Chain A
Amino acid sequence: MDIKRAVEQKSLNREHMDTEVRSRLSEIINGYTNEQEKVQIENEDVIENERIHVPVHLAINQCVISTVKDQFKVVNRCMLHMMYRKLNLLRHLKALKVFYLSGQGDIMETFAQQLFHSNQECTLKDNSLYFFNNCFEFALKLLE
């Protein structure tokens, strides 16, 4: 009887070992354990149940922000084209630099010489605006 029991135990141990080896082999081949597979399946079920409830920030991002961004891209290109090509913004900015920031020093120099000439009266009255504009136009002739 003892011999029979011993043989049965040995056969049981072998079967147990075989299942263990098989499970390890499947882990190595598939890259995840059976338990992990179970957890994944459970998670998919949860996602399927919650698919109706979309988060608000995602919905806003998808429906509002992305469309506004597309519009922004189009308008931005149009504005750049209009400012740089049609209106020549850079030319205007260069003009501002030349006149206001005295980018071309000789214009300002001539204007100051005209204005603050030693014989010039300090007080200016009636037609002073014409005087200033004439001085400025005289200085601008240097550009031509």
Chain B
Amino acid sequence: MEFEYIEQESMNDALMLNLHNLENHLKLNYRRAYPLDLVITEQSLVKYNRIFFTLLKVKKILQLLKECWKNLNATEFKRADRKYAKQVRSMQLLRSAMHSVTCTFEQYIMIDAIDAGW
């Protein structure tokens, strides 16, 4: 099991790879012997890849929100002037709302969609 490049039409497309568009350039390949590839087909692996990269996106958002929480709890924000306090508070609330939405979405995917269907 390893990552491979998806075949691109031009080399420029491959060079456009960054952490925010992984699914367009990479695929997680699962090596399997002859009779197994009749059951675990290439088509099903493409679908699994889509699910994998969607889950990775969700993880990435949660990771970034964690970093945001770290930054918002930094001393610069706590020692900010009172006139900026309202803005800081609204940022914290926005981060919290985004975090709760993403967490709920992740829980829905993991528990209701994947675990229930397995």
User: Residues on A close to B: CB < 8 A?
Assistant: 82-83, 87, 89, 92-93, 95-97, 99-103, 105, 108-109, 111-113, 115-116, 118, 120, 122-125, 128-129, 132-133, 136
Contacts and interface: CB of A to CB of B under 8 A. Distances in A.
A76 to B, nearest CB: 14
Given A92-B32, A122-B19, A133 B2 contact: yes
B4 interface: yes
B2 A116 contact: no
Given A122-B18, A122-B19, A133-B2, A100 B60 contact: no
Contact of A129 (B5, B30, B51, B64): B5
Interface of B: 1-5, 15, 17-20, 26, 28, 30, 32-33, 35-36, 39-40, 48-49, 51-52, 55-56, 59-60, 62-64, 67, 110, 114, 118
Judged by DSSP, the binding face of A is helix
A129 B4 contact: yes
A102 B55 contact: yes
Nearest to A129: B3
A89 B3 CA distance: 22
A108 B56 contact: yes
A124 B18 contact: yes
A109 B59 contact: yes
Given A100-B51, A101-B52, A118-B67, A124 B28 contact: no
Nearest to B59: A112
A132 B26 contact: yes
A93 to B, nearest CB: 8
Which of A89, A103, A128 is the most central at the interface, judged by chain B CB atoms within 10 Å of its CB?
Answer: A128
25 contacts: A82-B35, A87-B36, A92-B36, A92-B40, A93-B40, A95-B1, A96-B48, A97-B118, A99-B30, A99-B52, A100-B48, A101-B118, A102-B55, A108-B55, A112-B59, A112-B60, A115-B19, A116-B63, A118-B67, A122-B19, A124-B18, A132-B26, A133-B2, A133-B3, A136-B28
